[in-house]
Amino acid sequence: MVKILAIESSCDETAAAVVSDGNSILSNIIASQIPVHRLYGGVVPEIASRHHLEAIVPVVGEALSAAGCEFSDIDAVAVANGPGLVGSLLVGVSYAKALALALNKPLIAVHHWQGHLHAIDIEHHLTYPYLALVVSGSHSGLLLATEQGNTMLGCSHDDAAGEAFDKIARALGLPYPGGPEISRAAEHGNREFQHFPRAWMEGTDDFSFSGLKSAVLNYLNQQRMKGAEPDQQEICDIAASAQEAICDILSAKAVAAAQREGVAAIALVGGVAANQRLRQLLSERAGAVGITAVWPSPVYCTDNAAMIGVAALPKYAAGDFADLSLNAEPRLAII
Ligand code: KG4
Ligand code: ZN
């Protein structure tokens, strides 16, 4: 039985997992830095890399012991080498290289978004071709996944969907990370309170969320100029209206692309895939035209190392190994 130790440190989560054949997750440990970065309203790169340095050894140790493994049981070491914050990536990449060298085991480099894509394989068995909506804090894209590989159909030209959630939350005075906070506030809000603009990017599978962010900021500024600070209810209403705009665009465009490409399923992956309203709208709209929409459990939506390990399994089988010149690639090109 193959056992891969996977490491993920591209942003503010230090994560390690042991995965085995058949996408079986033997352990999945995540040390989150959210409480630290929350003090600053967002991720502070220098602080993130320092915390990765402190966390990486205990997190890997915990992943091994939760899987009932020793270092000597590991067949390969996988690591997300980009894209992400360079200082954060460097900790995972340097650790993985040193470990692979010390254990004399293969090193496998995994693109972070390839990891998000493979997160769907942990709990679902999709048949090719299918459409993937990859939505995280750093990326929004629509991909056609086929047996021969993935084709990027479209992506965000400015803010990623998660970034839009985070920036709108910040404008509303909600803490970092904004996505879960907007989602919680929206539960008590009226999604028809404001019809914020939707950039449909007609004729393309691309997205744009900066106009929506500006519309929310403008609305708040206009209210403030009238001397009206939003109260709790209005914050919930704006959160619900902004969330509706983001989920409306993402779900409508994903379903339209899936229909055009003639696929039977849409995989919703990445941190924003944890959003309940997005799941609901996507499944309603896809279901209405006979398309199935699936997503991973929340723990496999946001950054984790299990998805990196699952993405590494086919690379292990193919002998697609990295050498010790592997580097952290903050702007690693899209897969
Ligand atoms: O995939 P991820 O953990 O990290 C990146 O690769 O960027 O995604 C993090 C993003 C953040 O922007 C966060 O606000 C968003 O995912 N997010 C959510 C929810 N949970 C996390 N956005 C909307 N609703 C959620 N429930
Ligand atoms: Zn991610």
pLDDT of 221 reads 96
HSE-up (13 A, CA, CB side) for residue 266:
34
Residue 275 near ligand 1, beta carbon < 6 Å: yes
pLDDT at 334: 74
| Longest CA–CA separation in the chain, Å | 67
> Across 202-324, where does the E strand assignment appear?
265-269, 292-294
270 C-alpha to ligand 2 centroid (Å): 6
Domains within the chain, CATH numbers bracketed: 3-117+301-318 (3.30.420.40), 126-295 (3.30.420.40)
- Residue percentage of the chain with pLDDT more than 70: 100
For residues 132 and 141, give the distance between their C-alpha atoms in angstroms, rounded to a whole number: 8
- Nearest Cα neighbor of 275 from 235, 237, 302 is 302
The 10s digit of each residue's pLDDT in 55-66 is: 999 999 999 999
Residue 333: per-residue pLDDT: 83
Instruction: Compute the half-sphere exposure of residue 257: CA atoms within 13 Å on the CB side of its CA.
Output: 32
Q: How far is the CA of 188 from the centre of ligand 2 (A)?
A: 28
Cβ partners under 8 Å of residue 293, min gap 6: 265, 266, 268, 279, 282, 283, 286, 287
Q: Compute the average pLDDT of residues 111-122.
A: 97
The CA 281 to ligand 2 mean position distance, Å, reads 22
Distance 273 CA to ligand 1 centre (A): 8
| Cβ(33) – ligand 1 distance below 6 Å | no
Q: Which ligand is nearest to the CA of 169?
A: 1
Of all protein residues, the one whose alpha carbon is nearest to atom 1 of ligand 1 is 271
Element (H, E) at 111: strand 107-111
- The tokens of 324 are what? 């010790």
CA 320 to CA 313: how far, in whole Å?
Answer: 10
Phi then psi for 9, rounded to 5 degrees?
-145, 35
Is the pLDDT confidence value at 120 over 90?
A: yes
**Ligand 1 pocket residue status of 106, Cβ below 6 Å:** no
Predicted confidence band of residue 335 (pLDDT cuts 50, 70, 90):
low
Chain segment 235-271, per-residue pLDDT in tens:
999 999 999 999 999 999 999 999 999 999 999 999 9
Q: Which atom of ligand 1 is nearest to the CA of 178?
A: 14
Structure tokens at 285: 């709209």
Nearest atom within ligand 1 for CA of residue 139: 7
pLDDT band at 167 (very low <50, low <70, confident <90, very high): very high
User: Which ligand 1 atom lies nearest to the CA of residue 177?
Assistant: 14
